[in-house]
Structure 1
Amino acid sequence: MTAGKSADPSFPREQGDLSRQLDNALGQACVGVGDPGVQAVLMKEGRLVWSSRRGMAISQSATPVTDHSLFYYGSIGKLVIATFVLHQAEAGVLDLDKAISHFVGEEVAGSDLVTVRMLLTHTSGYPDAYADPAVPAVAPRLPPSYGDSRSYDPNRVWTFAMVNNGIRDPVEPGAHFAYLNCGYFLLGRVLSKTVGGDEALKRAIRRFVRRADAVEPMTEKLFTMERSRRALRRFAHGYELLADGSLLDYFTAYGAQGIPTEMYGLPFTDSAFAGTALAGAQFLDALFARQRLLQRETVEAMISPTPQATCDGSRSDPLASTCTFGMGTRRIMAGGRTWQGHTGSWIGFSAIGATDMERGVTLFVMTNRNTSEYRPASVIWEQLAETCAASAT
């Protein structure tokens, strides 16, 4: 099943040609990665240029993906958190170069050695907290370094303290780049402390993302931190492709009584959000094209590559290159164009969204499929990005 649309009837005939080209590219790319459930959106400066959905949100019940099916954003949530942190810095609530002990006290190991900027830029030096034996398994079938996966419980009630038990003293803070989740997990604690607690943080983020309203309001219908029964009714199940070619349903295989509790929401501010492709596209469009979320100079600082994340430019895969990272965002090359955004993946889900800032074009793709070899959303996104780059959009 596939459906596409152009939201603005004033677009010229060339826009219809682009929509047909994108529909064709989406179909070809999806077939090549096993035809997952997909949402894809193309925006330009607040306008919906094209959108499409395809495949099944829940395979067992043959429930098709709709425009309002919820998917998991994964690490794209880091971009949202980074943007909110920088907004707080613009407001004078946070100083990026202050030690986090100023905000969280001594409850976090090494808090007097690590700054907010280090957390934003993956240079804090913290070891991987999720791999520490003191932290329960956050997912099934992870590598042995992540502890005994038999302890995985999709219904476990997580707290900040549970993950904080695995945060150890940082090694050479500020000296090296290492992409890890626990830095953004700690940013969530910093934010919670500065705004008045977890519930206050959720309210503050909900208010902030409403600045990105464009095609549809950024309400809980499109963008959420809540693992509610209402969200579950609209959520696409995540599927992993197994070696024998069968699909494993991440939502049902391990006894989850609702949305798996480690998937998103607090305290997991390294991957705190779920929503639709339209919501993700609206957020990126507001940040990088319409500039409704941060001041121009703040955006420039945000996208500037982290000095510690250097490389010789010889790597052929831009998504694997560390030298593309800024603060919560990364530079992506596709179709001969430079895009700014982020990727995300977890068991059963993959996503990618980015903006061609020169042209004000944002492309966002979400799927409910993931494999150990590749990220289906990235494969689809790159083919769509090449199609966009060849047009005059």
Structure 2
Amino acid sequence: MTGTLDGLDGLDEFCTKALADHGCPSVSVAIAEHDELVLARAYGWADTAARRPATPETIYGLASVTKAFTATAVCLAADEGLLDLDRPISGVSEGTAPTPRQLLRHRGGFPAFYNFHYEAGPVPIDIDRYRTLVREPGTGFEYSNLGYRELGRLLESVTGREPGGHLRERIFEPLGLSSFGYGPDHPGPGPVAERYSAGGRAYPTCFSSHSAAGAGWATAGDVALFARRSHRLLEPATLADMYDAEPINEHLGYGLGRIVTRGPGPVIRSHGGGMGGIAAMMIEIPERDLSVAVLANSTDKAARDAIVRHLVGLLAPGFRSEILSPVTEHPRPMTLRPGEWEGEITTPEGIVPLRIGILTDHRVEIRLGEAADTAPVTAPGSASESWDLSVSTPQQLPTADARLNSPHLAVHLRAERNRLVGRAVAFKDGDREGRLGAYLVHPCELNPR
């Protein structure tokens, strides 16, 4: 095991500097080799106000790293005969229903979504108003908390247990891991890292309707050990399916709750996570029987990413850092001609008029609502493999859900039979002011004026 740590003599200095350079309160780092923890260190402040230092025993929010745990539990339930990975799930959608395998791979047809909220009681944005499939299941990749929410509901229905308790009893405890928690807050015991915005403001308890997608908590050591030990739980064929990753770009694929590298360089299996006050990364390097966990308590992922690049670059020379921010849409030249379009956004509260003008310099003018009532906003337009036009503006979609904490608007459209069809997204662009809110997708359609 000594050889694993060769070259890491400067890790303390590097991590301390990364925190200072990027304004991150703390980070916890762990390495597991075979089935044992060989390094566990922490740096900075778990609680800046109380001046409580982070330690290897500090528990961090995991955000979407939770998906790897949920996926393992679904695969285990399949091995136990409680569900069929390829049987469509009844009641999920009105049309063709997705299968668990498709949801695990983010190919179930659901759009992106989150509804973070910070007051106790029911989350005010009803998730069921946004559960509409936006594509036929199995036809394309779209990262979606909605799909993993459905997997959590499926687990609960076939096991009779709420997902947090099931994960703890069937995943973490059999693997000898003790720090796991599930929910808006860690239930304790154990010291927990407070969460901070990119500007250093403390986050309160965060609630959402998609816990199975992002409500996990653990120490970095337990995350690294999970990555190394979880293979014990599954049948060989199911484990092979987990790492059979359909391409999401030329360098990466997404399997059953794991991102897997493709092409040159060492094989890396991973999952990252980020939300308000959380930046997490779990990495497995199978050819070296190693795993790494890097957990930080800031929305800003810059310190996490710098430490992952440094650490994994030493452990797996040739490491490709695309896993840190997977690109699923490559840009291309915008080919839509200048002109004006008008149509509507369909929201749970009704129709919102939308007018778009494509200008000669690839800038786009957007007007929300009735023309007489609202002023247009102009922003640069772009295009990608999926969309003929994408534009983002600081405009407020006039719905109660968007007004809660989603003051920006993104519009993504493609040309179909002399129409522009696609989606309008209400969201909050970062948390240097305020807190992250909801990401709400609505269908929209426009015709030429």
TM-score between both structures, scaled by the size of structure 2? 0.64
Tell me, in whole angstroms, the C-alpha distance in 1 between the residues paired with 2:55 and 2:238. 35
Tell me, in whole angstroms, the C-alpha distance in 1 between the residues paired with 2:19 and 2:267. 24
Q: Is the 8 A contact 1:324 1:331 kept in 2?
A: yes
* Deviation, structure 1 residue 275: 1.4
Could you say which residue in structure 1 is the equivalent of 2:193? Answer: 236
Q: Which runs of 4+ in 1 moved over 6 A?
A: none
Q: Which moved more, 1:50-59 or 1:62-71?
A: 62-71
Which residues in structure 2 correspond to 1:212-227 (within 5 Å)? 213=175, 217-219=176-178, 222-227=179-184
Tell me, in whole angstroms, the C-alpha distance in 1 between the residues paired with 2:24 and 2:271. 23
* Deviation, structure 1 residue 111: 7.0
Could you say which residue in structure 1 is the equivalent of 2:166? Answer: 204
SS of residue in 1 equivalent to 2:138: coil
* Deviation, structure 1 residue 206: 1.4
**How many residues were matched structurally?**
318
* Deviation, structure 1 residue 210: 3.4
SS of residue in 2 equivalent to 1:27: helix
2:145 is aligned with what amino acid? N
SS of residue in 2 equivalent to 1:241: coil
2:232 is aligned with what amino acid? R
| Residues 273 and 228 of structure 1, relative CA distance in 2, 3 Å threshold | closer
Q: Deviations over 1:80-116 (max 9, x none)?
A: 1111111111111110111100xxxx3x333752211
Which residues in structure 2 correspond to 1:5-16 (within 5 Å)? 11-12=1-2, 14=3
| Residues 100 and 182 of structure 1, relative CA distance in 2, 3 Å threshold | same
- In the alignment, which of 95, 110, 127 is matched to residue 94 of structure 2? 110
Could you say which residue in structure 2 is the equivalent of 1:48? Answer: 37
Instruction: State, as a whole percentage, how many aligned pairs show the same letter.
Output: 24
SS of residue in 1 equivalent to 2:37: strand
Could you say which residue in structure 1 is the equivalent of 2:207? Answer: 261
Is 1:156 the counterpart of 2:115 in the alignment?
A: no
- In the alignment, which of 122, 133, 140 is matched to residue 176 of structure 1? 140
| Residues 248 and 52 of structure 1, relative CA distance in 2, 3 Å threshold | same
| Residues 218 and 334 of structure 1, relative CA distance in 2, 3 Å threshold | farther
* Deviation, structure 1 residue 42: 0.5
Q: Is the 8 A contact 1:100 1:114 kept in 2?
A: yes
| Residues 76 and 212 of structure 1, relative CA distance in 2, 3 Å threshold | farther
Which residues in structure 2 correspond to 1:6-45 (within 5 Å)? 11-12=1-2, 14=3, 17-45=6-34
| Residues 20 and 88 of structure 1, relative CA distance in 2, 3 Å threshold | same
Tell me, in whole angstroms, the C-alpha distance in 1 between the residues paired with 2:146 and 2:275. 15
Could you say which residue in structure 1 is the equivalent of 2:335? Answer: none
SS of residue in 2 equivalent to 1:20: coil
Which residues in structure 2 correspond to 1:1-393 (within 5 Å)? 11-12=1-2, 14=3, 17-101=6-90, 106=91, 108-110=92-94, 113-130=97-114, 138-139=115-116, 152-158=117-123, 162-198=126-162, 201-210=163-172, 213=175, 217-219=176-178, 222-227=179-184, 231=188, 234-242=191-199, 247-251=200-204, 259-262=205-208, 268-287=211-230, 291-306=231-246, 309-311=247-249, 313=250, 323-332=252-261, 336-371=265-300, 374-389=301-316
SS of residue in 1 equivalent to 2:287: coil
Tell me, in whole angstroms, the C-alpha distance in 1 between the residues paired with 2:186 and 2:104. 32
Which structure has more relative contact order (CA 8 Å, sep 6+)? It is 1
Tell me, in whole angstroms, the C-alpha distance in 1 between the residues paired with 2:30 and 2:122. 34
| Residues 332 and 345 of structure 1, relative CA distance in 2, 3 Å threshold | farther
Tell me, in whole angstroms, the C-alpha distance in 1 between the residues paired with 2:241 and 2:11. 33
| Residues 24 and 375 of structure 1, relative CA distance in 2, 3 Å threshold | closer
* Deviation, structure 1 residue 299: 1.9
| Residues 343 and 230 of structure 1, relative CA distance in 2, 3 Å threshold | closer
| Residues 25 and 375 of structure 1, relative CA distance in 2, 3 Å threshold | closer
Tell me, in whole angstroms, the C-alpha distance in 1 between the residues paired with 2:148 and 2:186. 27
Q: Is the 8 A contact 1:239 1:347 kept in 2?
A: yes
Structure 2: 5+ residue stretches without partners: 319-449
Q: Is the 8 A contact 2:282 2:292 kept in 1?
A: yes
Tell me, in whole angstroms, the C-alpha distance in 2 between the residues paired with 1:26 and 1:333. 29
1:324 is aligned with what amino acid? G
Q: Is the 8 A contact 1:70 1:235 kept in 2?
A: yes
- Structure whose residues are more often helix by fraction: 1
Tell me, in whole angstroms, the C-alpha distance in 2 between the residues paired with 1:113 and 1:389. 40
Tell me, in whole angstroms, the C-alpha distance in 1 between the residues paired with 2:60 and 2:264. 26
Q: Is the 8 A contact 1:128 1:167 kept in 2?
A: no
SS of residue in 1 equivalent to 2:255: coil
Q: Deviations over 1:247-277 (max 9, x none)?
A: 22112xxxxxxx3333xxx751111311111
| Residues 197 and 110 of structure 1, relative CA distance in 2, 3 Å threshold | farther
SS of residue in 1 equivalent to 2:281: strand
SS of residue in 1 equivalent to 2:31: strand
| Residues 122 and 196 of structure 1, relative CA distance in 2, 3 Å threshold | same
Tell me, in whole angstroms, the C-alpha distance in 1 between the residues paired with 2:61 and 2:97. 33
| Residues 310 and 61 of structure 1, relative CA distance in 2, 3 Å threshold | closer
Tell me, in whole angstroms, the C-alpha distance in 1 between the residues paired with 2:89 and 2:143. 19
| Residues 29 and 348 of structure 1, relative CA distance in 2, 3 Å threshold | same
1:283 is aligned with what amino acid? F
TM-score between both structures, scaled by the size of structure 1? 0.73
